[in-house]
Amino acid sequence: MNRELVIESSLEKGDFRRLTYWNMFGRNRLVPVIFAVFFIAGMLLIFLGGSNVQLKVGGLFAAVSPLIALIMVEFNIWTVSRRGNIEERTYGRYTISDIGIRADADYLEDPLIYNWRNIESVYENRYFYVIFINRIQTITIRKTDINDDQEKRLRAYLREYIRKDRNHLNG
């Protein structure tokens, strides 16, 4: 029996922003806490700093640092979006088997093959399956690009081959 599963997927306009914010706030729940701590600490320094200008300036920097971080993220998203056709630049044909995941794309000379033991982790959110090859590189599969049978088979592969502590599938 051939268990291979072939999925074609690409990001659409708006997906890069969705993925960026999910990666920043959804995958790592500590980031919003850090942002809140900086903001609250900054406000405390501003209001409780008395006449100490250095404390007030330090507090101002701490309080606005989350906003500055978000502006930098938005600038990065804008820069990526300006490069044009995101669908074409992110298209991938993924062949999933007992060996691992083979990624083919027009922009690749040769396919990339990722053995299951080398895949770092997998996450699922409302819109995507995000398979981390390493801390930065991902294979992203849009849920709208797969049918129910493909999704069932993909989930079976991911559950079978990704360690439980690195498998963050819903349900």
Least confident span in 1-5, 133-137, 143-147, 164-168 = 1-5
Name residue, tokens 């989350």. Answer: 66
DSSP class of 121: E
Segment 25-36 mean pLDDT: 89
pLDDT-derived band at 1, boundaries 50, 70, 90: very low
Q: Mean pLDDT over all residues of the chain?
A: 91
CA nearest to 15, candidates 95, 77, 100: 77
Rounded to a whole number, what is the distance in angstroms from the first to the last CA of the chain? 27
Burial classification of residue 13, based on how many CB atoms lie within 10 Å of its CB (0-12 exposed, 13-18 middle, 19 or more buried): exposed
Whole-number pLDDT of residue 50: 87
User: What's the predicted TM-score (pTM) here?
Assistant: 0.82
Residue 2: what pLDDT?
59
Mean pLDDT for 34-57 is: 94
Q: Which fold has domain 5-10+86-168?
A: PH-domain like (2.30.29)
User: Which token pair is 21?
Assistant: 């914010």
Rounded to 5 degrees, φ, ψ at 98 are -65, -20
Express each pLDDT in 52-81 by its tens digit: 999 999 999 999 999 999 999 999 989 888
**In what order do the strands lie in the sheet containing 138-142?**
138-142, 128-132, 121-124, 167-168
Amino acid 34: pLDDT: 95
